[in-house]
Structures are given as structure tokens and as C-alpha cells.
Amino acid sequence: MNKTEKMLVGEGTFAVLLMVFSLGIGYLSYQIAGFSSINSAGAFPLGVSLIMLLSSAAILLDLRKKSRPDSRGWITAFKQFSATHFPKRTLVFLALAIVYLGAIQWASFYLSTFAFLVASIVYLRNGRVASAGVIAAGLLLIIYLLFTLAFSVYLP
Amino acid sequence: MSETISYLLMAWTDPNLLLLTALGTFAGIYIGAIPGLSVTMAASILVSFTFSWDVNNALALIVGIYIGGVYGGSRSAILLNIPGAPSSIATAFDGYPLALQGEAGRAIGLSTVMSVIGGLVGVLVLACAAPVIGDLALRFAPRDYFLVAGIGLLLVGSLCQGSLAKGIFAAALGAIIGMVGMDPVTAQGRFTLGQVELMGGIHYVVLMIGLFGVAEAIYQLHNLDSTPIRQKVDKIIPSLAMVLKFLPLSIRTSVIGVLVGVLPGVGGDIAALMAYDHAKRSVKNPTQPFGKGAYEGLIAAESANSAAVGGAYVPMLTLGMPGDAVTAVIVGALVVHGLNPGPMLMVDNPHIFWFTVGNLALANVFLLILGMMGIKLFAKLVEIPKAVLIPLIMVLCVVGTYSINSSMTEVYWMLGFGLLGYLLKIFGFQMGPIVLGAILGPLMDTSYRQAMSSAGDNPVELLNELVSSPLSLILSTALILILLSNTPLFSWLKQKIRQSA
């Protein structure tokens, strides 16, 4: 067996989670109409969830061909996974995006978008607040001209 | 005959119609390039204020928007990996890798030329074979739609790049997402978890923006410190030799585009994916591997989605059945102007048919001219520092998603899909099969149930119908052959045949 390819940190756990998720989808599909009829509202979803379950099992089995990652233990693996795929920069940007989406409705679209653009550009560039403000204002002007004036699109 | 020619050239000779077609094509390119701004939306808005216009003027503007919009989606697909329209999903597969190599200008130039070739093939088929093809499309029973959707889903084999199991899982996940909401037959809630907001379903454009836009933005945070790739903008217009080299592929995939576009409910998105699959199977030595910047992948997708426009007009003008959402809006516009699209249109108002054919050809010519303009400026978009580009992409994703149904819930879903897409991307899943599943899953579900109902809920009877109808038999055979070609048995057989030869 070729064991040259190494498993990514967290890949095994993710594959197991996919199987659990598929089982959950299978349960929800069954709840629609059970096995009442071959032509019921739940018949096709049941078939699709079976495909999900089988393919997730195949994904899990495929991992046997790969060698284990270097990390030892769950905590080390989690730390390594977080550091690789969710470093501080990603987490802060995601937090800014979530706050932005939460603020749109009560702080208005233009104000929250301006604040989001300035905050994220300043954070990603490590400073230069004034130029970030100018860029954000310029982008907002383009959005206003394009979406509100030209295309009359409803903005949040 | 002379009357037909005069109708055909009407848009080419009237300055007013020329201007409106050009204006529509120009606006369409930029509307299509912005994710979330759909051609359907633009056409619907236009129809509402063209009620009092002359029908030819209204049609000229809408045709321009349609042609420009289908093409425009390729811009953001190539430059940002965010398809501006669903028909550009397949364009992103090889277009974006080309932009990463500094070839965005050339990719857009080539996609413009190939879109025009595809569009003209579509117009030619519309002009020459509309009644015959329209009649064929009418013969499609629900079981045939089920088979077409099944063939479409088998494209997963081409799109998954690597693990087939991951591709199948992704497509099935997409199908489940596509089925969230009210069951179209019994109005029963499916996968709604008791949430009223989910009863209306999840629009696949929300999924597309999340998976391609947000996931890509998060992924690009890892490359924040990398120097922006300088785009080569000196050779935008492809050479004649290059166009001639890819012409056979463009024509082949255009024919696929027209045929798929003819089917009501199946549009440029599926046409482009099927054409991409065809290119991947038929081109032995691509310029680069598929998915890594093969011109062939780009050409197939762009030729097919533009050709599908001509295809979508076939059932609309000959049978009164819209081929896709935009042609449905155009049907509305024709009815408002006192015309009745359908079999009698060719008898009562033949000028509308020939005028549309000529106008579509004109819009394609304008596409060639206007599409080549502004490429240098567009290509520079990729050179914007990522610290500015990534937050801007996020804002565009929010605006684009909200504009679909004016729903903040869908914006939250979009962010959720973005995170899911990012996780899946980390572990080597492709986004294409998920969107493919979301589009084809509901179509397959509905057509399966209609087919089963027509067979009296009897699977044996349905199987009998599948082999007794010539059209179903051809489609079933194609499905089985494609299925077999995805198995190791096919590779083994091919190897054996080669050895014996």
C-alpha cells in the first residue's frame, strides 16, 4: 500500500463528522414521510442521504491509504489545526465580519459598511487609518453610484 | 424572402435600435460582472419601464442586456473566482488560475471571442432549426428531465479533481441544500428544522456567493503578504491562429450549449458545466491541466453558456415556453405588447422572430467590440492589495446576496456557507459539485416524482417507459455509458483495447 501521502491535521475527525452529519440528514429525511411511498416528499431526500452516508464512509476508508499526521493527541492536533487554518488574522477578520452583519440593521448599511471597511483594512495593513478612511469612503461612493443610483438595488 | 431579410436587418439599419442594443449589451456586461446582480433582475426592471415603448425598442434593449449579462459573469469569475452569474461557474475553474498566473487579460480576451462564437452558433441554430428543435423539446417527458439531470450530476467525476468520493459527497450535500424548504408537490416542509424562514428554501445564488466569494476571501487571508500578481495586459486580443486552433472545440461546445439551452428550466449554468466536462474528456493535450488554467476549459464554458442563449429562445418563440428565467420575462414583455409567443407567432408575427434573430446577432457583434474595451482596467482589479480587496469582496457578497430577496437571513446563510466552504476547501473538497447538486437536485427530485406518478408509482412501469421511448432510451444509454466511464472498468477496457491495437 502506498503510504506516501500524509493525512492533514484534523482530516480524520472531519471525515467522522461528515459521517455523523450524513446520519443526521438521513434521520431528517426519514422524518419527512418515513418509508410511506416510493413517490413521497421524503423518498428522494432519503436516497440522497444514503449516497452522502456511503460517500462519507468511502472518504473515511480512503484515509487508511494515508499516513498519520505528526501531531500527537487531540489537544496538540486541535492547536495545530487552529494555528494553520484559523490563525489570529482569520479569526479577527471573521469576528469583524460577524459584527458587521449584526450591525447592518441597526446602524444602517452605509455606516456599518464604512466602519467594517476601515476596521478591516487598518487591521490587515497594520495601520494607516487615514488612507483606510479615504479608501472606504471611495468604495462606498462607488457602491452608492452603482447600486443605489444606477441599478436601484435594495441595500440592507 | 425580401421581407424576411428586411426584418432580419431591421436592428442593423435603424440607428435607434442600434443604439439601444449597444446600450443594453454594455449595461449587461457590467451587471453580469457584479455577483448578485442577475440578468433576470435587470431584464425584469427594464420590462416594467418599456411598457409604453415600441416593442422592437423594448426587445432590442432586453436582448442586449441578456447577451451582455451572460458574458459579463465571466469577468468576476476570472478575476476574483466569484462567478458573476450561475452560467459562469465553470468559467472560474480555469479562468481564475489563469489570473493567478498573470494571464487575466488574455483569458478575458479569449473568453470574449469564444462567447461571441458561441452566441453566433446559438443564433444560427435558432434561425435554421427552431421549429424542429422546439418540437423535440416538447417531447421531453419528466423521466427524460430526470435522466438529463442525472447526466448532469455525473459531471461530478470531472469536477471533483482527485477524490471521487469527495465529489459525490459534495454533490449530494448540494442536493440536500437545494431541497431545503417547501416540497413543490405536497407543500410539506423539508429540512427546515421548524424555521419559517427556511420554508421558502435557500436560493442557490446565496450558496454560490458564500462558497465562491466568502470562502475565497477567507482563504486569501493566508496569502495576504504575497505580492499582487502583475497582469500581462499587452496581448489581450487573441491571435487568429489561437482562435482557429480552438475553433473546433468552441463549435462543439456551442452545440452542446444550444441543445441544453433549448430544454426549459435548464440554462447556461448546466450547459457550461456539461461543455466543460466534454472538453475535459475530449481534449487529450490541454495547454495546462484542467483546473490549473487550461484555455480549453475556459473556451468550453464560455462558448456553451453564450450558445445557450440562442437555445433558450427556441422554445420561447416556437412554443411560447420560456427556456430560462430571462426568456420568461421576455414572454411577459411580448404579452404586454399584445403579442402571443407560441406556435402562431411565426404565422401571425413572423417579423418578431426574424427581428429577434437579427438582433441577437447584432448584440453579439457589439459584445465583441464592447467586451474588448476596459479589459486592461478590469484586469488591474486583481492587482489591488489584498488588504483592500478582501474586505471589499465581503461587502460585495453582502450586497449581492441581499439584492436577491432583500433578506438578511439569506446574508447570514451566505456567511455560514462561506465558512463551510472554507472548511471543505481545506480538506480538498471542490465547490463546483456542491453548486451543481443544488441546481440539479431539486430538478431531479421533481422530475423523478412526476415520472413516477405518470408510471402509477410503479418502478417496473417506469423502467419499461425508460426503454420503450426512443428519446428516453438514448438518454438512458448515455447515462449508463457516462456512469461506466467513471468506473475503473472503463479505464481497464480502454487499456486492453490500446494494448490489442
The ipTM is 0.91
d(CA A124, CA B431): 26
CB B412 to CB A147 under 8 A? Answer: no
* pLDDT tens string B372-429: 887 777 777 667 788 888 898 899 889 888 887 888 888 999 999 999 999 998 998 8
SS3 state of residue B320: coil
Contact residues, chain B, for A30 at CB < 8 Å: none
Neighboring chain A residues of B452 at a CB cutoff of 8 Å: 38-39
Cβ-defined contact of B221 to A90 (cutoff 8 Å)? yes
Read off the pLDDT of each residue in B156-160 and give the average, rounded to a whole number: 66
Would you place residue B297 in the very low, low, confident or very high pLDDT band (cuts 50, 70, 90)? very high
Of A39, A85, A94, the CB nearest to B457: A39
Q: What is the pLDDT of residues B308-359, one digit of tens each?
A: 998 888 877 877 766 667 777 787 778 778 777 776 777 777 888 889 999 9
Dihedral of alpha carbons B403, B312, B124, B335, sign? negative
The single-letter code of the amino acid at A91 is L
Domains of chain A, by residue range, sit at: 11-85, 88-150
**Which residues of chain A does B423 touch, with a Cβ-Cβ cutoff of 8 Å?**
14
Grid coordinates belonging to A48: 440522497
Q: Do B408 and A156 touch (CB under 8 A)?
A: yes
Cα→Cα distances B182→B175, B265, B373, B407, B436, Å: 14, 19, 45, 18, 20
Average the pLDDT over B67-71 and give the result: 89
Which one of A29, A59, A118, A142 would you mutate to disrupt binding with B, by most B Cβ within 10 Å of its Cβ? Answer: A59
- In this complex, the residue of B165, B179, B394 whose CB is nearest that of residue A59 is B165
Amino acid identity, residue A74?
Answer: W
B88 close to B305: Cβ distance less than 8 angstroms: yes
What digits encode the pLDDT tens for the residues B17-58? Answer: 999 999 999 988 888 887 656 677 677 667 666 767 888 888
The residue in chain B having the minimum alpha-carbon distance to the alpha carbon of residue A63 is B163
With 0-12 CB in 10 A as exposed, 13-18 as middle and 19+ as buried, what is B193? Answer: exposed
Picking from A11, A52, A104, the nearest residue to B408 by CB comes out as: A104
In this structure, of B72-86, B111-125, B149-163, the range with the lowest mean pLDDT score is: B149-163
B185, B426, B457 ranked by CB distance to A85: nearest = B426
pTM: 0.78
SS3 of B33-85: the string is HCCCCCHHHHHHHHHHHCCCCCHHHHHHHHHHHHHHHHHHHHHHHHHHCCCCC
Residue B162 backbone dihedrals phi, psi, to 5 degrees:
115, -110
Residue whose grid cell is 499587452: B234
- Spatial distance between the Cα atoms of B16 and A84, rounded to a whole number of angstroms: 59
DSSP A149: I
Put simply, the answer to whether B395 touches A89 (Cβ < 8 Å) is no
Three cell numbers at B190?
423539508
Contacts of B51 (CB under 8 A, 6+ apart): B336
Give pLDDT, residue B35.
Answer: 66
Report residue B220 as a C-alpha cell. 486569501
Cα–Cα distance, A10 to B424 (Å, whole number): 12
Does position A2 have pLDDT exceeding 50, yes or no? no
Angle at B446 between CA B66 and CA B442, to 5 degrees: 60
Closest Cβ–Cβ partner in B163, B169, B459 for A38: B459
Report residue A4's pLDDT band, with 50, 70 and 90 as the boundaries: low
Q: How far is A81 from chain B (nearest CA, A)?
A: 10
**Selected residues 69-128 of chain A with any CB under 8 Å from a CB in chain B:** 85, 89-90, 93-94, 97-98, 100-101, 104-105, 113, 116-117, 120-121, 124-125
| CB contact B188 to A (< 8 Å) | yes
* CA B337 – CA B316 distance, rounded (Å): 16
CB B287 within 8 A of CB B231: no
- What whole-number distance in Å separates Cα of residue A32 and Cα of residue A22? 16
